[in-house]
Amino acid sequence: MSEETLFTKIINGDIPADVLFEDEQCICIKDIHPQAPTHVLVIPRKPIPRLSDASEADKALLGHLMLQVGEIARKLGVDDAFRVVINNGESAGQTVFHLHLHILGNKTFDEGSLGMH
Ligand code: 5GP
């Protein structure tokens, strides 16, 4: 069996994290190195390595994650303006190979900037 990802360890409670919300399909934790005053990660329990590894079978899960992003942004009070980032692949800045959506808020982003930094 392949090794558990960092986020699977967090989901299983083997590594501590600030868990804000969770449901049967995903978990939302605070990012340990926040790039904005509000920076959380929405992580599916299913360890899909990258967005580009998702398949037709993951369609409902991906939709659920997107809806959760909106719901969580509302709960955190940043729904008026926030950024969602998915890094796909090492060169794109992905460091944890377990799909996750970054929600960044309470920060003004440059119009021309696409990244998190
Ligand atoms: P990526 O670079 O793969 O898109 O995002 C991985 C994110 O996970 C980074 O923003 C990083 O700060 C965060 N991270 C890495 N290790 C941990 C950890 O142990 N706990 C939490 N809460 N976040 C982590």
Q: Which of 30, 41, 85, 86 to mutate to test ligand 1, by most ligand atoms within 8 A of the CB atom?
A: 41
For 20-47, the pLDDT digits (tens) are 999 999 999 999 999 999 999 999 999 9
Kindly give the distance from the C-alpha atom of residue 33 to the centroid of ligand 1, in angstroms, as a whole number: 7
**Which is the closest atom of ligand 1 to the Cα of 95?**
3
Q: In this structure, is residue 111 part of a structural domain?
A: no
Kindly give the distance from the C-alpha atom of residue 94 to the centroid of ligand 1, in angstroms, as a whole number: 9
pTM for the full predicted model: 0.96
Q: How far apart are CA 34 and CA 49, in angstroms?
A: 22
**Total of domains in the chain:** 1
What pLDDT, on a 0 to 100 scale, did the predictor assign at position 60?
98
Q: What is the CATH number of the domain that holds 21?
A: 3.30.428.10
Q: How far apart are CA 90 and CA 52, in angstroms?
A: 13
Structural domain of residue 75, as residue ranges? 6-105
Q: In this structure, is residue 114 part of a structural domain?
A: no
What type of residue sits at position 18? D
Average pLDDT over residues 91-97: 97
Q: Does the annotation count 102 as an active-site position?
A: no
Q: How far apart are CA 106 and CA 117, in angstroms?
A: 14
pLDDT reading at 85 higher than 80: yes
Q: Whose CA is nearest to atom 20 of ligand 1?
A: 32
